[in-house]
Amino acid sequence: MPGMVLFGRRWSLASDDLVFPGSFELFLRVLSWIACLTLYLVHRRKLDCPGGILLSTYLIVLLVLLAVIICTVLAMVCVSMRGTICNPGPRKSMAKLLYVRLALFLPEMVWASLGAFWVAKGIQCDKTVLIGIITTVIVSWIVMAATMVTIIFVFDPLGGKMTPHPPGCPEHLDSNNSSQLLTGLKTAARSVWETRVMFCCCCVGQDDNARVAFSSAADLFSTYFSDTDLVPSDIAAGFTLLHQQQDSINNSLEPQEVITHFPGQSQEADLDAEVENCHHFMPFAAAAYGWPLYIYRNPFTGLCRIGGDCCRNRETEYDAVEGDQHNCHFASILKTTGLQYRDFIHISFHDKVYELPFIVVLDHRKEAVVVAVRGTMSLQDVLTDLSAESENLELDIELQDCVAHKGIAQAARYVYRRLVNDGILSQAFSIAPEYRLVLVGHSLGAGAAALLAIMLRRAYPQVRAYAFSPPRGLLSKSLYEYSKDFIVSLILGMDVIPRLSVTNMEDLKRRILRVIANCNKPKYKILLHGCWYGLFGGSPDNSPTELDEGNQRALSQPLLGEQSLLTRCSPGYSSSDSLLDSPSKYPPLYPPGRIIHLEEESGSGRFGCCSAARYRARWAHEAEFGKILIGPKMLTDHLPDILNQALDRVVADRTACVSCPGQGGSHAAVS
């Protein structure tokens, strides 16, 4: 940080990013130089064949050219090691070295082409020499091809609009001009991100919903990324520092500081009942994923178990299944839930943007009509997740604000229309009129199930919802409080999704800026120590991570957007103009219902299996998930099979604890 400026434009590459690629190229070049020198010294007496003078000249010139390249790359690596992330001053000569290195590609390309041409002419010389020259030609072309690929990846489409201006503020740049420039930058950034999203989701249909989702995702990305001069390696270094800072703080806490309060007997009994309910309904949420999750959870036997049903012709009993051409989804659902085909009212695997698959089943054990909504599993679902604007819900309840995540609200409306307008719920309750309605889901499906419960509560007052690993950015404060009466959320460990919202991402960005700005170590040392710490543990980096008050105020200003356009020099600039301030269309949102948090008590290693860990369940407040935690398990704790294993362990431990005489009191004290 900041991104390098080459050829009059900014690139997504910092001057301290060349340590590792430069060292790798240096290793290859030194090996090539030693091999060429050995080849020449050992076989120079055998080059008196026809055309041998050409090959001898080729090797000598190649040795000189490689020596120059090695010296240049070595200088680049040494310069790239200097300074810190936010202090690029000691690396100011890097641009000139890069120009020299890129210029050396031209003679290298010409000489490699000549070598290939001479060898192709069929020169009758020692085969070892010819093989050696062919090898050097191949290595040269591989390095040049890798360089071209790297240039493509670090190309920033907005770089031409973001190059820094010279110091000083031109008098003619008034507030109107700077505002127009900033607006143009925002528009260009949004256009670039929309093109990127459409390219990544090229297989998604171009209907109206998809186009709206493309635009929403582009708005989100451009708003989040367009105001900071961070390159990808800066973000990786920031994650590394935050992870170690977080562990250092946790290690310094006393045990009594971690447990903030002890629940009463009534809360404990309620917790036991809700944990048991979560344990019962979790298989329904997992079953909604269909055969991919079943095969993932049973990699050796899953295909054999459902293979016969996949190849079987559909019978009349399967008419309720929609979008499952080969019956594989239905077969896996039967295996996961343990129910019979006659217990299923409707199964839909229709999957489009804002339209989620779901299943409706009769659960005779709990006397419930269960609606399970599938979580994120396709690009269409990802676009639904990324439609993160807030949207008003039209509900017949008196609340101050009824606002929810736009994409998930659209998906919940789709399922609502299918359940109500298509008569699916009416059919289910005509079969079992005394049953109650229960809605479940995992991840995106958890958010949709929670919103669906809110929409259906007026018609079904006894409705309950169990949201497994729901997204944090789902409900407004009023809806969050309203949902506590009939929705329970279950969150495992460090799971990132229940902590993920636009406001939390903005907070994460500020934290990254603070730690990398205050760290006095070069980036390559941060990344090396971070990799070692992430894999093998050890002592966290003890570098200071908090800035003094003056530097914190400086970091509240944008690092790229306005600064590059010199709006900070204009009379109309104020700190309130910063793009770091969350736009009004991304207000703070909260997770649904009451929250049960499964906390890890004894670890199983940094990447250990969940079944070897011990967890405790407790009621938690939403404020405990107001910050994104960084760690190896922030992603794995979100997986439905890991959550299910942890839930199995918690239920087994609580059951064993209750069955042991004299253990109830101690259990209640820590859970």
- What are the catalytic residues? 443, 495
Cα distance between residue 663 and residue 670, in whole Å: 11
Cα distance between residue 106 and residue 100, in whole Å: 11
Three state DSSP letters for 139-170 = HHHHHHHHHHHHHHHHCCCCHHHHCCCCCCCC
Determine the distance from the C-alpha atom of residue 591 to the mean position of all C-alpha atoms in its chain, rounded to a whole number: 19
Backbone angles phi, psi at 488, to 5 degrees: -125, 130
Burial of 76 (0-12, 13-18, 19+ CB in 10 A): buried
Three state DSSP letters for 275-325 = HHHHHHHHHHHHHCCCHHHHHHHCCCCHHHHHHHHHHCCCCHHHCCEECCC
Cα distance between residue 73 and residue 193, in whole Å: 34
Q: Which residues of 615-651 are buried (b: 16+ CB within 10 A; e: fewer)?
A: bbbbbbebeebeebbbbebbebbbbbbbbbbbbebbb
Distances (CA, A) of 391 to 351, 498, 619: 22, 20, 29
Cα distance between residue 527 and residue 533, in whole Å: 10
Cα distance between residue 111 and residue 121, in whole Å: 15
Q: Closest Cα to residue 579, out of 179, 70, 125, 14?
A: 179
Place of tokens 């994923």: 289
Cα distance between residue 645 and residue 548, in whole Å: 44
For the chain, give me the number of helices (H) and strands (E)?
25, 13
